[in-house]
Amino acid sequence: AKVLLTGGSGFIAAHILELLLKRGYEVVTTVRSEDKASKIRAAHPNANLTVVIVPDIAQPDAFDEVVKTPGLEAVLHTASPFHFNFTDAKTELLDPAIMGTTSILKALKSSAPGVKRVVVTSSFASILSVAKLEDPTKVFSEADWNPNTYEQGAKGDDKAVSYRVSKTLAERAAWKFVDDEKPNFDLATINPPLVFGPVVHHINSLAAINTSNARFVDLIQGKMKDGVAPTGTHFWVDVRDVAKAHVEAMERTEAGGKRFFCTAGNFCNKEIVEIMKKKFPDLKDQLPGEDFKGGEYPEKGPPKCDNSRATKVLGIEWISLEKSVVDTVTSLQALGA
Ligand code: NDP
């Protein structure tokens, strides 16, 4: 079967691409530059793979041509900005996220009648509410939606809020499109929190490390030696489980019409540091010493999660934090960290 994967150069998408090829799919993937396209082609020389350039996903007709690829049966839409180095939230973040999602769905409805399932990479950002992030009695699940508005995101004065709004409104737009337009396909969304895990080396460099692995680079480079940074949101998942969730959500009939909170559970930076100290004694000089401070859970404990839907419907077994940390650090060291 033939599958379209957008954003094939991304941290998560690189793992999805590997899994799709391993499972025997023919893959068409989009990236925005020839440089990235040639790296992906070179890494998969004998694969059943076509790499197509889509330079700007914020254009309403961005995907009009690629969706006409004959024989497409499923689409995985991962491309969306995940970084905080933007100056204009609307054009650099909200437009590519929201218009990128609606433009691909519109194009599929008009030109890809064979597509039966679309999987959109959403986020825990679309689930969380900031007020509950320090509430130990809260159990986050697929039933929750981020209440932030377009206006809050477009202001751009809080970059995390802008990112969260971009994901929330992109996901809402996808569900609304399917409800209103009754297209030939149904929808599933994958909503991961912070994604850790090994990077696929041909498309990554330390200087341009993906946002969610940045704390590992900081730790390896000694930047938290005198104080561990606050954790942020206390949920995480390994990238290999996220890739698997996408492919299972594409393959399993019963995943249609569902969002999936894909998380292995709670973590805090202190736990990451403890694992690194135990498993990488060579990093002793860069890591915090005994009785280090920072990166703890909130005093009353973190909020909780219900990941039972992804566990049952997608069959995810959840890689442990220790394995994920060890594999992430090993992979970053191979990149030169
Ligand atoms: P990456 O930054 O590695 O990947 C982002 C992908 O989107 C890249 O392929 C990137 O292309 C593409 N992209 C970004 N902006 C644009 C744009 N304006 N036009 C075209 N393509 C664009 O991050 P991840 O792999 O982590 O993110 C992939 C998806 O997962 C995103 O939708 C993100 O929101 C979501 N996600 C990530 C989480 C995480 O912790 N990593 C958590 C929850 C959700 P290029 O390589 O050219 O920059």
Produce one character per residue of 258-292: b if its CB has 16 or more CB atoms within 10 Å, e if not.
Answer: bbbbbbbbbbbbbbbbbbbbeebeebeebbbeeeb
CATH number of 2-195+235-264+305-316: 3.40.50.720
Instruction: For ligand 1, say whether the CB of 197 is within 6 Å of any of its atoms.
Output: no
Instruction: For ligand 1, say whether the CB of 213 is within 6 Å of any of its atoms.
Output: no
Ligand 1, pocket-test mutation among 12, 103, 140, most atoms within 8 A of CB: 12
Cβ atoms 98, 171 nearer than 8 A = no
Ligand 1, pocket-test mutation among 16, 80, 203, 331, most atoms within 8 A of CB: 80
The protein residue whose alpha carbon is closest to atom 44 in ligand 1 is: 123
Tell me, what's the pLDDT at 208? 87
Instruction: For ligand 1, say whether the CB of 302 is within 6 Å of any of its atoms.
Output: no
Ligand 1, pocket-test mutation among 82, 205, 331, most atoms within 8 A of CB: 82
Tell me, what's the pLDDT at 326? 98
Query: What digits encode the pLDDT tens for the residues 266-313?
Result: 999 999 999 999 999 999 999 999 989 999 999 999 999 999 999 999
Report which ligand 1 atom has the smallest distance to the Cα of 9: 9
Give the C-alpha separation, 114 to 35, whole Å: 31
The protein residue whose alpha carbon is closest to atom 15 in ligand 1 is: 81
Tell me, what's the pLDDT at 207? 84
Could you tell me the residue ranges of all domains in the chain? 2-195+235-264+305-316
Tell me, what's the pLDDT at 206? 85
Q: How many helices (H) and strands (E) does the chain have?
A: 11, 12
Provide ipTM, 2 decimals. Answer: 0.99
Report which ligand 1 atom has the smallest distance to the Cα of 95: 18
Query: What digits encode the pLDDT tens for the residues 105-122?
Result: 999 999 999 999 999 999
- In the chain, which stretches have pLDDT less than 50? none
